[in-house]
Amino acid sequence: MKKIGVIGSGSMGQALISGWTESGASVVAIVRDVEKYRHLEKSLGIDVTDNRSALLECDVVVIAIKPQIIKEVLHEFQSYIADHALVISVAVGITTEFIGKCFPQTVEIVKAMPNTPSQIHMGVTCISGGENCSDSSIAVATELLSAVGEVFVVPESQQAAVGAVSGSGPAYLFFLAQYLREGAQQLGVDADLADQLIRATLRGSAELLMQSEMSATQLRKQVTSPGGTTQAAMEVLDSARVGEVICAALEAGVARSIELGKS
Ligand SMILES: NC(=O)c1ccc[n+]([C@@H]2O[C@H](COP(=O)([O-])OP(=O)(O)OC[C@H]3O[C@@H](n4cnc5c(N)ncnc54)[C@H](OP(=O)(O)O)[C@@H]3O)[C@@H](O)[C@H]2O)c1
* pLDDT at 177 exceeding the cut of 80: yes
8 A C-beta contact, residue 105 and residue 82:
yes
Cα distance between residue 261 and residue 90, in whole Å: 12
- Looking at residue 88, the DSSP 8-state letter turns out to be E
**Amino acid in position 141:** A
Task: Determine the pLDDT at residue 262.
Answer: 84
Of ligand 1's atoms, which has the minimum distance to the CA of residue 9? 43
Q: Which residues constitute the domain of residue 198?
A: 169-262
182 and 215 inside one domain? yes
Residues 78, 44: Cα–Cα separation, whole Å = 27
User: Same structural domain for residues 36 and 117?
Assistant: yes
CA 14 to ligand 1 centroid distance, Å: 9
Q: Do both 13 and 138 map to the same domain?
A: yes
pLDDT tens, position by position, 86-121: 999 999 999 999 999 999 999 999 999 999 999 999
Domain boundary (159, 181, 196) is at 159
Same domain, 137 and 204: no
Could you tell me the CATH number of the domain that includes residue 71?
A: 3.40.50.720
Candidate of 66, 111, 115 to mutate for ligand 1, largest count of ligand atoms within 8 Å of Cβ: 66
Report pLDDT for 24. 84
Nearest alpha carbon, ligand 1 atom 38: 32
Q: 142 lies in a domain?
A: yes
Q: How far is the CA of 213 from the centre of ligand 1 (A)?
A: 38
Residue-wise pLDDT for 118-133, tens only, equals 999 999 999 999 999 9
Domain end, chosen from 159, 178, 206, is at 159
Distance CA 67, CA 76 (A): 15
Digit-coded pLDDT (tens) for 38-84: 999 999 999 999 999 999 999 999 999 999 999 889 999 999 999 99
- The count of structural domains within the chain is 2
The model's pTM is 0.93
CA distance 162 to 185: 34
Residue that terminates a domain, selected from 159, 180, 198: 159
| pLDDT band, residue 2 (cuts 50/70/90) | confident
Q: Is 1 a residue whose pLDDT tops 80?
A: no
Residue 164 in any domain: the answer is no
